[in-house]
Chain A
Amino acid sequence: MSIRDIVLKEIRAVAAEQDKTLPALTDDLQLLESGLDSLCFAILVSRLEDATGSDPFVSAKASEFPRTVGDLIAFYEHVDA
C-alpha cells in the first residue's frame, strides 16, 4: 500500500470513529475544512506513526505543518526514515 493510500485510509477510519463527516478527499482540501478536529489529527498522526514507522511532526517546525490533504501525504512521503 502506498503512503497516499495509507494516509487516506487512516483519515477515513479516524473520521468514522469520531463520527465526523468528510468531504471528498482531494489534494487541495484544507485540513482545517475537512471536518476533523485537533483530537482527530492527534489520533491520525499517532496511527500514521504506527502505519508508516515515522512521525514527521516531531522534527518539523509548526510553520512547516501541512495545510492541505496533499501536503499531509507529501509530509509522510518525504520523511527520511
Chain B
Amino acid sequence: MSTPDALTLANLIERSGGAGRAVSTRDHCVPLGSFASLSVFGAERERFADRSVALYVGDMAKAAAALIDLDGLARRILLCPPGWDAAKLRSAAAQAECDALAFDEASAAPTLGVDVRLPVRLPLDPREAFKQTPIETEWILPTSGTSGPPKLAVHTLGALVGAIGEQPLQQWATFYDIRRYGGLQIFLRALSGQGSLHLSAVDEAIESFLDRLGASGVTHISGTPTHWRKALMAGAASRISPAYVRLSGEIADDAVLEGLAAAFPNARVEHAYASTEAGVAFAVDDGRAGFPADFLNREGAVQMKLVEGTLRLRSPRRALRLLGADAPALVDAEGFVDTGDVIEIRGDRCLFMGRRGGVINVGGAKVHPEEVEAVLNSLPCVRASRVFGKANPITGALVAADIVLNEPTAPREGLEREIIALARKQLPAHMAPARIRFVADLPMTDAGKLSRHG
C-alpha cells in the first residue's frame, strides 16, 4: 500500500498552512506545527512503523497528537473510544490484529499481549527524521451502536476527509470525542483549515468547557442534539457566540433547531447526517428538521434511496469494510449501506422517524420513540425527553417518557397530566406517553447520544 503520495495528517496540516495552530484540552496544548521534529513517542516513534496500533488513551489532546504521529507510519490505528474497559480493548485489538499499543501514562497500562508498548507523552519530545515513505494507514473506527459488541469499520484518511472542502480560518470546537466519527470529522476539518481545535477534558463540567470556548474565540462548534440541549441548559447562549453551529449523530428535531437559532441569532445552524459505516451523507441549514425529499434518488457523489422505509446510502466516503471473519456485509449488491434509520416522507420533506430496531409495539401499533420525543421537546416547558416502552399486560407495551423540564419550571401538581394532554393534541392516542417521570438529567452514551438503555 506504499504510495509516494499517500495522504497523511501531516500533509493536511502542512498543506493548509496557518500559524500558531494547536489542538488543546484544558490540560494540554499540542502545537500543530511541530510534528516534523517532535513526537508524543519521542525517539522511539519508529518502533510503530508498519504496526497495527491500538490507541488507548484518556486525554483527547494526547489522542490527537498520537494520531498525527501514527498516520502514515503505522499499518493500522485502532481508535479506542473513551470509556472502553480492558475487555473491550482486548476483543477489538484481537479483531484488528494489533501488535502494538499506545497508552496513556496517566492511567494504568492495560494488559495486552503485543510486541511494542509505548506511552503517549505530552509535551512532545524530539524525534529522529524518518526516511520511510508514508504509507496509507488503515483507520479502524468502532461503531457507536448501542447493542452488542461494536463493529469495527475500516477507513482510509482519503475517504474520511472526502466531505471536507476548503476550510478557511475557523476556530473549531466539538462536544464529541474525536475518536467517534462525528468528532473525528471535526478534528479533520480543523486540521484541513487554518485555525485551532478546542476539546473538552475528561471530567470537565460543560459550563467550564463553554467558558473556555468563549474565551478562546471559538467560531465553529459541533455536537449531537443531546450535547446541544445540555449546552443550552448550561447557559451556552451567554457563554459562547459561534458563527456556525453543527449537529449530527442523532435526529435534530425542530425544537432543538429553533432553540439554537434563538440562542445564537447570528450563527448558521446546520445539521449533518453521517454514520461510521456510511460516512458523511449531507448537511442541511434551512432550520427545518429532516431533509428535502428531492435528495432521494438524485445523481451525485452520495446517492440515497428508501428500501421498505429505511434509508440506504451509496457513498465514496463509506468504510471499506467491516473487520472480522463473521462480520456482516457492509453494503448490499448495489453498493448501498443500510443505515437502519426509518424515514417518512411528509410533503417535500424526509423526516427521520427513528431506528428500525427501536420501535415500541403498543398493541400491534408501532411507535418510534424519536417521533414522540420530537413532539415532547417542542412543548415550551420541556428541555429534553427520552421515550421508551414500558411493559404492559394488556397491550404488551405502553409509551413512557422521562422528561427534563426547562428551568425554572418545577414539576408541579398536575403537570404530568397537562403534558400528556398537550401530546395527545399532536399524536394519536397510542403514541402519546401514558406515563411521565420528571428527571434532572438524561443518561448520555460515551458517543454523546441519548442513552436508550437505562
Contacts and interface: CB of A to CB of B under 8 A. Distances in A.
Interface of A: 13, 17-18, 38-39, 41-43, 45-47, 50, 55, 57-58
Interface of B: 362-363, 390, 392-395, 398, 417, 420-421, 424, 429-430, 434-435
A17 B420 contact: yes
A17 B393 contact: no
B360 to A, nearest CB: 12
A61 to B, nearest CB: 11
A65 B301 CA distance: 59
A18 B429 contact: yes
7 contacts: A38-B394, A39-B363, A39-B430, A42-B434, A45-B394, A50-B435, A55-B393
Contact of A45 (B392, B417, B421): B392
A57 B393 contact: yes
Contact of B394 (A13, A17, A41): A41
Contacts of A55: 393
A66 B430 CA distance: 23
Nearest to B397: A42
B430 A17 contact: no
A16 to B, nearest CB: 9
A42 B429 contact: no
Contacts of A47: 435
Contact of B429 (A39, A45, A50): A39
Contacts of A42: 362-363, 392-395, 398, 434
Nearest to B435: A46
Contact of A39 (B362, B393, B417, B420): B362
Contacts of A46: 390, 392, 398, 434-435
A55 B391 CA distance: 12
A37 B393 CA distance: 14
Contacts of B393: 42, 45, 55, 57-58
Central interface residue in B390, B392, B420, by most chain A CB within 10 Å:
B392
A17 B427 CA distance: 13
Given A39-B363, A42-B363, A57 B420 contact: no
What secondary structure prevails in chain A residues at the interface with B? helix
- Sorted from nearest, which 5 A-B pairs have the closest CB atoms? A57-B393, A42-B394, A42-B395, A43-B434, A42-B392
A58 to B, nearest CB: 6
Contacts of A13: 417
A9 to B, nearest CB: 13
Contacts of A38: 363, 394-395
B424 A43 contact: no
Nearest to B400: A46
Contacts of B390: 46
Central interface residue in A38, A47, A50, by most chain B CB within 10 Å:
A38
Contacts of A39: 362-363, 395, 429-430
Contacts of B394: 38, 41-42, 45, 57
B398 A43 contact: yes
A50 B435 CA distance: 10
Contacts of B398: 42-43, 46
A31 to B, nearest CB: 11
Central interface residue in B363, B395, B417, by most chain A CB within 10 Å:
B395
Given A42-B394, A46-B398, A46-B434, A17 B363 contact: no
A32 to B, nearest CB: 13
A43 B393 CA distance: 10
A17 B414 CA distance: 12
A14 B363 CA distance: 17
Given A38-B395, A42-B393, A46-B392, 15 more contacts: A13-B417, A17-B420, A17-B424, A39-B363, A39-B429, A39-B430, A41-B394, A42-B392, A43-B398, A43-B434, A45-B393, A45-B394, A46-B390, A50-B435, A57-B394
Nearest to B393: A57
Central interface residue in B393, B420, B430, by most chain A CB within 10 Å:
B393
A13 B421 CA distance: 12
B364 to A, nearest CB: 10
A52 to B, nearest CB: 14
A27 B393 CA distance: 23
A46 B393 CA distance: 9
Contacts of B429: 18, 39
A17 B433 CA distance: 11
A50 B430 CA distance: 20
Contacts of B421: 17
Contacts of A43: 398, 434-435
Central interface residue in A42, A55, A58, by most chain B CB within 10 Å:
A42
Nearest to B363: A38
